[in-house]
């Protein structure tokens, strides 16, 4: 899919420091530089709430695994929420804090204010949402907040003179119900790639979904039916990395709500069907220096600058270490091993959809279009952490001058493991177990996530893997019970 990337600065976000231990420096710097704009944004939010008669404001944030959390406040409480935040028990949120450190504060970010699109303008129950930054009582950003993890990498990029633009292609399935008692779900249609499905339980879904996203200020570039029955793809227009992570979280919420209103359900499970393709989140990325695309070089064969090649090399070098973040579920590796065009080795290629990193060749001479497409993330990742490790890996490649190997021209997925190794390709993890083993040895990932997120994520995912291993599956019983 063609993704036109350009740089759009994010208004209203403040910066923390690049280093895990330097939160207070970054917060002070950010508050000094954006206080005036934040105040004007707060005034806009309060005025909009009064003029539109909004009755509820939902404050959103995300736990370490990427689950959306929400607390609703009355408009009368919002002004004090801007000044003091909303206190809550952080120990009740997955991975946020210990009981002895339970007091946690959600600070609304007024730049993320949007009306929720599911109420009529004259509804007496109209509501809006804002994302929050999670703070400690001493005013420092919480080390558990995924938004802060991504913000640190954005600040690291800024310190190197870059801003990051992101555009994802988000795939998911529409199914008749999520209540299947452990059996495979039933797709809502029988369509294929770009099809107008001949049987469709929600024929207006994509149109309603796009309108809902547009009403929330999330512009859409494309939408179409994907390769499998019930599978959809909606591609979001480029934005800065933090805005895009917020948009992805909003996207998942909106898709589930629109599906429910159509009498069906949306699932972002990486691979819910054995015989159908998995759901990816192919992620297009560019770095900009001011208004100049740092990935563009008109004199290169593929219009790729040295910066872009080093960025790709960084992602390839650290691909195994970050795999548990971009593909965080046991089910994620069913997609990688058995999904269509899912990457199985740390390779890059020009227009090669079997490579981990693809360089699109649409409009090679157009500077704003020069980007790289990372094909490993699935639609069930935590977007804040996934974008943080991808950006961090690329920046490390640039900073340390990584060399990019020759591009892969083969269909990597069709090669055997022996053939891949003979050709010098390094396999990606084939299970969550393998991915976690690579991650827990990585100082690089620990630095990006911070000690708390790093340790909690590993503990949680090792528990998930062990629970998965404990199962006695129907396949085992049918294959081994009569031995």
Binding residues: 169, 171, 221, 226, 233, 282, 284-286, 335, 341, 353, 373, 375
d(CA 84, CA 117): 28
Q: Is 448 exposed, middle or buried (0-12, 13-18, 19+ CB in 10 A)?
A: buried
Q: How many separate helices (H) and strands (E) can be counted in the chain?
A: 14, 16
d(CA 238, CA 8): 8
Three-state DSSP state, 196 = coil
Phi, psi of 178 (to 5 degrees): -90, -10
- Sorted by sequence, the CB contacts under 8 Å of residue 374 that are 6+ apart come out as 282, 283, 284, 285, 315, 326, 356, 357, 390
d(CA 202, CA 97): 41
CB 52 within 8 Å of CB 123: no
d(CA 342, CA 72): 39
d(CA 14, CA 83): 15
d(CA 224, CA 302): 28
Q: How many CB atoms lie within 10 A of CB 261?
A: 14
DSSP string, 448-464: HH-HHHHHHHHHHHHHH
d(CA 4, CA 21): 36
Helix axis angle for 451-470 and 319-326, nearest 10°, is 70
Q: How many CB atoms lie within 10 A of CB 240?
A: 19
d(CA 316, CA 335): 19
Q: How many CB atoms lie within 10 A of CB 76?
A: 8
| Strands 348-350 and 357-359, bridge-based pairing | parallel
Indicate the annotated binding residues for Mg(2+).
Answer: 169, 171, 226, 233, 282, 373
Spatial CA neighbour of 224 closest among 278, 172, 263, 273 = 172
Indicate the annotated binding residues for ATP.
Answer: 221, 284-286, 353
Indicate the annotated binding residues for L-glutamate.
Answer: 335, 341, 353, 375
Report the first-to-last Cα separation within the chain, whole angstroms: 50
d(CA 145, CA 133): 7
């Amino acid at each position: 899919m063609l993704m036109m990337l350009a740089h759009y600065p994010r208004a209203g976000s403040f910066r923390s420091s690049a280093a895990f231990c330097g939160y207070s420096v970054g917060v002070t710097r950010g508050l000094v530089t954006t206080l005036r704009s934040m105040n004007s944004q707060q005034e806009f939010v309060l005025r909009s709430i009064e003029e539109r008669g909004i009755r509820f404001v939902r404050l959103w944030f995300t736990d370490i695994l990427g689950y959306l959390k929400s607390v609703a406040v009355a408009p009368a409480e919002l002004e004090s929420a801007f000044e003091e935040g909303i206190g809550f028990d952080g120990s009740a949120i997955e991975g946020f804090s210990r009981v002895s450190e339970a007091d946690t504060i959600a600070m609304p970010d007024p730049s993320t204010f949007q009306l929720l699109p599911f109420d009529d303008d004259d509804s007496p129950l109209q509501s809006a949402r804002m994302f929050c930054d999670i703070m400690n009582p001493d005013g420092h950003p919480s080390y558990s907040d995924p938004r802060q993890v991504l913000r640190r990498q954005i600040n690291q990029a800024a310190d190197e003179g870059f801003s990051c633009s992101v555009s994802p292609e988000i795939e998911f399935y529409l199914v008749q119900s999520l209540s299947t008692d452990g059996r495979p779900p039933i797709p809502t249609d029988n369509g294929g790639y770009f099809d107008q499905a001949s049987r469709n339980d929600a024929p207006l879904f994509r149109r309603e979904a796009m309108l809902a996203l547009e009403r929330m200020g999330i512009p859409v570039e494309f939408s179409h039916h994907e390769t499998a029955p019930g599978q959809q793809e909606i591609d979001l227009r480029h934005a800065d990395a933090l805005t895009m992570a917020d948009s992805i979280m909003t996207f998942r919420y909106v898709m589930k709500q629109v599906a429910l209103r159509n009498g069906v359900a949306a699932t972002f499970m990486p691979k819910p069907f054995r015989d159908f393709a998995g759901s990816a989140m192919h992620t297009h990325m560019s770095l900009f220096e001011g208004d100049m695309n740092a990935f563009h070089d008109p004199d290169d064969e593929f219009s790729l600058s040295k910066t872009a090649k080093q960025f790709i090399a960084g992602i390839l070098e650290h691909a195994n270490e970050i795999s548990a973040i971009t593909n965080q579920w046991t089910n994620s590796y069913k997609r990688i091993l058995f999904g269509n065009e899912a990457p199985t080795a740390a390779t890059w290629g020009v227009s090669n959809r079997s490579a981990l990193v693809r360089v699109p060749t649409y409009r090679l001479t157009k500077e704003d279009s020069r980007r790289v497409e990372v094909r490993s993330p699935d639609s069930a990742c935590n977007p804040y952490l996934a974008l943080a490790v991808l950006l961090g890996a690329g920046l490390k490649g640039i900073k340390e001058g990584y060399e990019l190997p020759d591009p892969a021209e083969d269909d990597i997925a069709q090669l055997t493991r022996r053939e891949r190794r003979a050709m010098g390709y390094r396999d990606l993890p084939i299970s969550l177990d393998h991915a976690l083993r690579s991650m827990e040895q990585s100082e690089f990932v620990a630095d990006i996530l911070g000690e708390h997120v790093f340790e909690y994520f590993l503990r949680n995912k090792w528990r998930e893997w062990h629970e998965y291993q404990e199962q006695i599956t129907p396949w085992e019983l049918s294959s081994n019970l009569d031995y």
